[in-house]
Amino acid sequence: MAHLRVSDVARRFGAVTALDGMSFEVEEGEFYCLLGPSSAGKTTTLRAIAGLEKLSRGRIEFAGRDVTTAPVQGRGMAMIFQTFALYPHLTVRQNFAYPLERERVDRAEIGRRVGEVSELLRVGHTLDRKPATLSGGEQQRIAIGRALIRRPKLLLLDEPLTNLDAKLRHDTRAEFKRLHRELGMTMLYATPDQLEALTMGQRIGVMRGGRVVQIDTPRALYEAPLDTYVAGLVGAPAMNLLPGRVTGGQGGLAVDFGVAGIDLAPGARDLAAGTELVVGLRPHDIRLGRDSARGRTVDAVVHLREPLGDVTVLDLRFGAIEARGAIEAKMVVREEQGALIPEGSAIEVTIDPADLHLFHAETGVRLA
C-alpha cells in the first residue's frame, strides 16, 4: 500500500487551472521527485498535500487515511519552502524549539531534540546566533532542522536549493541524500532542475500542465522518454530533436532526418514508409570520427564550442537536404578532444541507429 496517494487532484484559481488530474503514489521511505518547469503545478501539489490548498476535485491519502480535508496540524507532515522562512529575531536554538513549544512539548524533551537535530545537521556551533549572521547554506540547514525536529512522517521540499549558489546546491544535494539514508524518511521533492531530480530521486514524476505525464526511475526516463517533452527535459545537454521521415532502406526501412538515411532497428520496421518523425539523439551518443562498424558516418561543421572543463559541447551544423535547411545538433566530447577542434572545423561523426529515439511528428509520443 502506498504511503502517499494523490488521486485525480484538481485545483483552480478562477479561470486558471493549476492542477488538472494530478495522480501519483509515493512508497514509504522513498525519495520521490516532482520535476517540471515553472507553472507546471509543483508548488500547488505540495501545498495541497500539506493541507494549505483546498482542492477543486480529487483525493489525498496518507499513511492509510484520507487527509483530503484534514487540518494542516496533525497530518504528520512538514514542508520546507523556497525561502528559508526563519524567524530573524530568534536565535537558531529558539527557531528549532518554536514548533515544539507550540505543541507544548516538555522543556527537557525540547532540549534533547534540539541537540539531536543540531548534531545531525552539524550546526551546533550556530545555536546561539541569529539567522542573519549565518551563511546561505547554514540558513538552509536550520530550515531543514526546524522541519525535522517535529519528526514528520513525510517531508515536503519545495525547490529548497533555489537561493543557494552552485557549490552550496551541490553540497546540499549530498546532505539531503545523507539525511534520507540515515533517517529513512519519506521525502517528496519538487524542482525545475533535472540535475537535482536525477541525482536524488529514486523515482521521478515529470509534470506538465498540472499533471504527471511520466513516472519512472532516473535511468529509465533518460533511456526511454515517453514523448518529446520528457526527452527535452531530462538530460544535459538536452536531447537533439530533429525532423525526420521513414524511407526505403537497404535493410527494409531507414530514417532520414535531414542528415543521412540510417537503417532502422528491426523493432521499428513496422513503420510505414513516408511516416513523419521527430528523431531524438543524445549529444553523448554522437561519436567523433569515422567508425563504420558502429553506424553511419556523417559530415558536419563545428559552429560553436562550449568548454565545460572536463568535457566540451560542440554545436554542429549538418549539410542542407532538399528544402529543409541546415540541421543543427549538439555533441559532447572529452575536453582534450574538444581543445583540438576550432570553430569552423569540418569533422566526421558516427551515429549508431541503436541510439536513435523515434517520436510521432504530430503527437510527440514515442514510437517502437
Which CATH architecture does the domain made up of 240-367 adopt?
Beta Barrel (2.40)
Instruction: Write down the pLDDT at residue 199.
Output: 93
For 86, the grid coordinates are 526563519
Residue written as cell 529543409?
324
**Topology classification of domain 4-230:** Rossmann fold (3.40.50)
**Helix, strand or coil, per DSSP, at residue 209:** coil
Mean pLDDT over 253-282 rounds to 72
> Could you read off the pLDDT of 112-166 as tens digits, one per residue?
999 988 988 888 999 999 999 998 888 888 988 888 898 899 999 999 888 778 8
For 211-230, the pLDDT digits (tens) are 999 999 999 999 999 999 99
Q: How many CB atoms lie within 10 A of CB 325?
A: 10
**185 and 29 Cβ atoms separated by less than 8 Å:** yes
What is the Cα–Cα distance from 341 to 338, expressed in whole angstroms? 5
Where in the chain are the domains? Answer: 4-230, 240-367
Count of Cβ atoms closer than 10 Å to residue 16 Cβ: 9
pLDDT at residue number 263: 67
pLDDT 10s digits, 171-189: 888 888 988 998 889 999 9
Sign, Cα dihedral of 77, 81, 84, 90 = negative
Q: Is the pLDDT of residue 232 over 90?
A: yes
Other CB atoms within a 10 A radius of the CB of residue 53 amount to 18
With beta carbons less than 8 A apart as the criterion, state whether 213 and 229 touch: yes
Q: What value does the mean pLDDT take over residues 50-65?
A: 94
